[in-house]
Chains A and B, each alone.
Chain A
């Protein structure tokens, strides 16, 4: 997105949050809260928990904006990660193994190319290409873990595979992705 005064980038807004610019914080919330909340909803599958995760993530944005270094990572990664980690912490604390809740809908599994949404992002094309190098089963593992917040045991149940096998597949998939994305 081109940066200008009327259309600041997320990184610029975070920089202004570090200077305690409330208007920038409001704008950042307007632009990003739905994406963060969507991710939190997907992982927690609980509106109240998701709201807590989104709330906590934005409080962290305000409090820790000075820690964001645009030379060391993308603003989108920083923002989305705050919400993901909070949501994951919550489901871990609440015991996602015990709940074993099933996803309402796996959008990532639908359509002829369920990963095609990646192609809309400048840095998504490479990930899309590299995910295609994995077998369908291993690609699903990565997507279910990252997007749905599945634990090892949930993945094992979902794919009807021993947990040790799942762990090994995940490691192999991550190694392959890292190598592919480096090329």
Chain B
């Protein structure tokens, strides 16, 4: 470091850092367009500091945002020809969802006609809840793996927690044979708690949450 007490201002660096006020930032943006040397200095600082964005947890944007982007770009991307499904999953290339859970990752290898999938669990454990798209009624199938053993006076209950929601919604007890739920939006968390036989008496989870994961599109 230099011995000088005063470091000269570096507007390219401070523009990239984000600390310029509105007028200074406007001036920097104008200079980027007009001054190739300044633009190169900005790019160099972007290269230096962008790794800091790795400190930020990714957040999926709202489901509808892609439609907005397409509309703004005057894109008219047609849905795939075999796409004939309602609402929230329209426009996706592969009509499959995966739960990326702490305990189980569900991978759709082929979406149709009979999805092939694998459940990846941490080595040494086998307990998992399988979540698969394409139930007999077009919904999402949620089924415990055969390896989940619970007391006879207990049930596993399924909950959905929409992105940003504070309280989960009950989706019912999961019988060993599994159950089919209506399609719900990607980005929604699915949680499974251990409850008294018949399900939570309060409408909110009362036992420990044993499994959890966020619905994601398999092709993203």
Interface residues of B in 85-114 (CB under 8 A from A): 93
- Total chain B interface residues with beta-carbon distance under 8 A: 48
Q: Is A162 an interface residue (CB 8 A)?
A: no
Roughly how many angstroms separate A117 CA and B56 CA in the complex, as a whole number?
9
- A147 and B55 contact, CB distance less than 8 A: yes
Q: Is the interface of A mostly helix, strand, loop or mixed?
A: helix
* 8 A–B pairs (Cβ distance < 8 Å), ordered by A: A22-B77, A59-B73, A92-B21, A93-B22, A121-B51, A127-B51, A150-B18, A151-B21
> B61-69, B132-140, B147-155, B200-208: which one contacts chain A?
B61-69
* Residues of B contacting A47 in the complex (Cβ-Cβ under 8 angstroms): 62, 164
* Residues of B contacting A33 in the complex (Cβ-Cβ under 8 angstroms): 60-61, 65-66
B19, B57, B69: the one within 8 Å of A150 (CB): B19
* Residues of B contacting A158 in the complex (Cβ-Cβ under 8 angstroms): none
- B48 and A178 contact, CB distance less than 8 A: yes
Q: Is A41 an interface residue (CB 8 A)?
A: yes
B22, B50, B62: the one within 8 Å of A81 (CB): B50
* Residues of A contacting B1 in the complex (Cβ-Cβ under 8 angstroms): 172, 175-176, 179
CB-CB under 8 A for A175 and B56, given A81-B46, A146-B49:
no
Q: Is A63 an interface residue (CB 8 A)?
A: yes
A126 CB to closest chain B CB (Å) equals 8
A39, A42, A178: the one within 8 Å of B13 (CB): A178
Q: Is B17 an interface residue (CB 8 A)?
A: yes
- A26 and B77 contact, CB distance less than 8 A: yes
Q: Is A149 an interface residue (CB 8 A)?
A: yes
> B3-11, B120-128, B172-180: which one contacts chain A?
B3-11
Roughly how many angstroms separate A122 CA and B10 CA in the complex, as a whole number?
26
CB-CB under 8 A for A39 and B53, given A59-B73, A92-B21:
yes
- B61 and A124 contact, CB distance less than 8 A: no
For the A-B complex with A29-B66, A39-B56, A59-B73 known, give 11 more contacts whose Cβ atoms are closer than 8 Å: A33-B65, A34-B61, A59-B72, A72-B40, A115-B55, A145-B18, A149-B18, A155-B19, A170-B17, A171-B8, A174-B10
A41, A117, A120, A123: the one within 8 Å of B59 (CB): A41
Chain B positions near chain A (C-beta within 8 angstroms): 1-2, 6-10, 13-14, 16-19, 21-22, 25, 40, 43, 46-62, 65-66, 68-69, 72-73, 75, 77, 93, 164, 217, 219-220
Interface size class of A (residues with CB under 8 A): 35 or more
Interface string of A32-65 (1 = CB under 8 A from B): 0111111101110001001100110011001100
B185 CB to closest chain A CB (Å) equals 15
- B75 and A25 contact, CB distance less than 8 A: yes
* Residues of A contacting B46 in the complex (Cβ-Cβ under 8 angstroms): 73, 77-78, 81
* Residues of B contacting A115 in the complex (Cβ-Cβ under 8 angstroms): 55
